[in-house]
Amino acid sequence: MSKAITLQNKIIRLFITILIAFGLFSLQACSNHSNDNGQAHVQVHMTDSPANFDALIVNITRIEAHTSGAGANNGWHVISDTPVKVNIMNLTNGQTKLLANNQLKSDNYDAIRLVLGTGNKVVIGGQTHALKVPSGMQSGIKINTNMNLSGGQNTNILLEFNASASVVLTGNLTYILKPVIHVVNYKEEGNIDGTINPVKADAALIASNSQDTTATYADTTSGKFKLVGLQAGTYNVHVYSNSKAYNDTTLTNIKVNANANTKLGTVTLSSKDTTKTATMARY
């Protein structure tokens, strides 16, 4: 999935301005069950924001949740200890991966931790590079949250992996993995979908407001796109063309409701006036 560097730079600049990475989010339960025995059902999903990589393989060996409450439940609790290798680049455009499906004791959990194994790598321009994980992260990547779990309730967590900000190239040409992850309540957030016309515009999309942002690429075959995990609110959707033949555009005042899908329909990008450009070049 190779994209132009200039397009990626636009996305990174907007993310740096708006994205609240490792932010504090309240994850409330979204359904109830009668026979709970003091246990809450938790699912952990992952999705991705765009990056200029062919592949990004991350080996997650364990997922844990932490509570600071008094009593025997204080500390870290395993949600999943089944290793899973995830190609983050397969999780764009609304695609998600289920990482964990388990139960936790009723409590308030203030952090999630991902423990990484070996074999992490990035593929750029067909070349595979091993990813070094800093020693401070080998014990786990901690992501702050505020997850209130009550017996019999079901909570779905979405981890949005910001791939472009998570891979760092050092001066000695070593690739380092420093995951930047945005946490949202999967079932209580909204989505935006639609289709880019023409498909050959090869568009990237970013939905943003003062509190939240997410991004994706339109499918290069169908032009369809889906922006997921957005907090309820009003957004501007920025559309960037990776083709020099088409203009960028911004759709304003797009309303997103909790647990709902906002349909934009077909978004048509206008052609650039190449005839005028060619005429000016002759003078």
Q: Amino acid letter at 203?
A: A
**Predicted model pTM:** 0.66
Query: Do 106 and 194 have their domain in common?
Result: no
Residues belonging to the chain: 283
Q: Which of 119, 154, 188 is the last residue of a domain?
A: 188
pLDDT score, position 186: 62
Decide if 13 is inside a domain. Answer: no
- Among the listed residues 246, 248, 223, 247, the one whose alpha carbon sits nearest the alpha carbon of residue 238: 248
Which string of DSSP letters, residue by residue, matches 224-245?
Answer: EEEEEEEPSEEEEEEEEESSTT
Mean pLDDT is highest, among 132-136, 146-150, 197-201, for 197-201
121 Cβ partners below 8 Å, 6+ apart? 55, 56, 57, 128, 129, 130, 131
Instruction: Find the Cα–Cα–Cα–Cα dihedral 103, 151, 159, 175, rounded to 10°.
Output: -50
Q: Residue 46's closest CA among 6, 84, 77?
A: 84
The reply to whether 256 and 118 lie within a common domain is no
Which range of residues forms the domain containing residue 237? 190-283
pLDDT tens digits, 92-118: 777 888 999 999 888 888 889 999 988
Q: Does any domain span residue 49?
A: yes
Domain boundary among 188, 220, 244: 188
Q: How many domains does the chain have?
A: 2
Q: What CA–CA distance (Å, rounded) separates 193 from 207? A: 11
Residue 6 lies in a domain: no
The last residue of one of the domains, among 188, 219, 238, is 188
Q: pLDDT for 224-241, tens place per residue? A: 998 887 888 999 999 999
Same domain, 73 and 108: yes
On whether residue 7 sits in a domain, the answer given is no
Instruction: Judge whether residue 83 has pLDDT over 50.
Output: yes
Produce one character per residue of 65-83: b if its CB has 16 or more CB atoms within 10 Å, e if not.
bbbeeeeeeeebbebbeee
